[in-house]
A and B are shown apart, each in its own frame.
Chain A
Amino acid sequence: MSADQNTTVHDIQTAKSKGLAQCHVCKLLVRVEETVDNYCPRCDSKIHMRIYDSLQRCWALTICSLIAFIPANAYPIMTILYFGKGQPDTILSGIILLLKLGMYPIAAIVFIASFVVPLAKIIGLFVLLVSLKNKSKFTKQQRTKMYRYIELFGRWSMLDVFVVALLVALVEIGAVVEVVAGAGATAFGLMVILTIFAANSFDPRLLWDEENEEDAFNNLTEEK
C-alpha cells in the first residue's frame, strides 16, 4: 500500500537498537547481550542478535557449492544401457536428449530445476554477499525478495537426483535395459545441500543494518 511506503523511516525502530533479539524458532523477543551466548527462555534454542559469522560462513558455503557445481554437471548423472550399450548422460546432455525427443515442457522443467535454479541461487548469493560490501544498484527490498526466492526454490534442484533413484530402481531387473547411476549424482546432491546451508547461514537482517544505523543516527540528531 502507498500508505506503507510513506511511513517515514524515523518511525521505524529495530529490535537491535533496543537490545532485543527475536528467537528464530518461537519468535519470542528476548533481551540479549551481544558478547555471550543467549538462549531462548521459552524454547531453549540459541538466540543471536545476528547469525554468528553469517557472512564468513555464507561466503565459504557458496564458494563450496560453486565448486561442487562443476563435477555435478561434468560427471554423468546416469547411464541408460540398451542391450549393454549406452552413453553416460550428464544433466545437460539428458536435457538435450529430451529436447530431441520433442518433450519440451519436461525438458524445460528439468533445465530450470537442475541447472537454472542452482546456478541462479549461487549467483544470487554472491550478489547479496558482494552488495553488503559495495554499493548495490538493487534496493534493499529487491535484495530481500531475492533472498526469499533463494530460500524458496532451492529444494527443487533435487529433482534430477530423485529421477535417477526412480529410474535405477525401476529398470534394475531388466536385462534389456539397465540404468546405472553415476558419480554426478553424488556431486549434485552435495551441491544442493551446500546451497541450502549457504542460504540458511545468510542473515537477511544484515541487508537492512546499514539503514537501521542511519535511522538510529538520524533519530539521535533530531532529538538533540
Chain B
Amino acid sequence: MNQTQFACYECDTLITVTSINEGEIASCPRCHHHILDKKHDSINRTLAISGTGLLLFIPAVFFPLMSMQLLSVESSASLISGIAALWQTKLYFVATLIFLFCVLSPLIKLTAAFVVTLGFKHNKHQHPFYKQLLLFYHHVDSWEMLEVFLIGILVSIIKLKDMADLSFNLGLLCFSAFMLCVLSLKITLDKQMIWDDLNYER
C-alpha cells in the first residue's frame, strides 16, 4: 500500500504517488495542484489543538470582544451579541449567515477533528460514526470565516476610534486564539491519512 494512484482534482491526470515522507508534498506535474501532503505528527497535534479550540469556544463567542464608552454610556459587543442585534433589527438572513460562518462551522470543525483523532488514537475510528464526522468536517470546511471576522473587528475599531473611547476585552484575546486553533487544523489534520486507514469492501 505504499504506492497509490490519484487523479488530480483540477486536470484529471492520473498520478502514481510513491510513499512520501512527513512534511513532503506531492503535486500534479501538469497543473501543479497539490495532490497529497503528509503532516507532522498529525493525530497528536490535531488532538491538542482541537481540544484547546473547544475550551476557547465559549469565551471566544460569548465574552465581549471590545467595549465602547461615550458620555458615560458603556456598551460592549461579543460575537453572539452582534448576531442577536442583527436578529433584533430583523436582518434574519444576515444574522443566520454570521451564525453559520463564525459559530456553527468552526464548532463542527473542532468537534469533528477532536472526536475523530481521539477515536483514531484508541483505534476505534473504523466505526461509521467517525466516517460521518469526517464527512461533516469536509462539508463545513469552506464555510468557516473566522479570520475574516477578525479583520472585521479591526475595521470596526478603526471606524469607531474617533467617535468614542474604545477598550478591548478578554474576549478579543480568546477569539484570536480560537481562530488560530481553527486555522491550525488545516496544517495539522491529515484527513487523507485517516481516510486511507479506513477499511472498506472493494
| A→B interface (CB under 8 Å) | 4, 7, 12-16, 18, 20-22, 24-29, 41-45, 98, 101, 103, 106, 109-110, 113, 140-141, 144, 147-148, 151, 155-156, 158-177, 180-181, 185-186, 189-190, 192-193, 196, 200, 204-205, 207-209, 212
Contact = CB atoms under 8 A, between A and B. Distances in A.
Given A163-B155, A166-B82, A168-B82, A144 B31 contact: yes
Main secondary structure of the interface of A (DSSP, over half): helix
A23 to B, nearest CB: 9
B84 to A, nearest CB: 7
A94 B113 CA distance: 39
Contacts of A29: 5-7
B92 to A, nearest CB: 9
A169 B84 contact: yes
B159 A42 contact: no
A185 B200 contact: no
B1 interface: no
Given A169-B84, A176-B71, A205-B10, 20 more contacts: A12-B14, A15-B12, A18-B14, A22-B9, A25-B135, A26-B191, A26-B195, A27-B192, A98-B158, A144-B10, A159-B148, A162-B98, A162-B153, A163-B156, A164-B86, A165-B98, A168-B82, A181-B86, A204-B9, A208-B31
B14 A166 contact: no
B98 A161 contact: yes
B180 to A, nearest CB: 17
B73 A28 contact: no
Nearest to B139: A25
A106 B156 CA distance: 10
Contacts, number: 208
Interface string B145-169: 1001101111110111011100000
Given A20-B7, A158-B145, A103 B158 contact: yes
Interface of B: 5-7, 9-14, 29-33, 36, 65-68, 70-71, 73, 75-78, 81-86, 89, 91, 93-95, 97-98, 101-102, 131, 134-135, 138, 142-143, 145, 148-149, 151-156, 158-160, 162-164, 191-192, 195, 198, 200-202
B75 A171 contact: yes
Contacts of B11: 14, 140, 144, 204-205, 207-208, 212
Nearest to A25: B138
B152 A159 contact: yes
Contacts of A25: 135, 138, 195
Contact of B162 (A24, A101, A196, A208): A101
Contacts of B198: 26, 42-43
B94 A12 contact: no
Contacts of B164: 174, 177
Contacts of A18: 14
The 3 closest A-B pairs by CB, nearest first: A162-B152, A15-B7, A169-B77
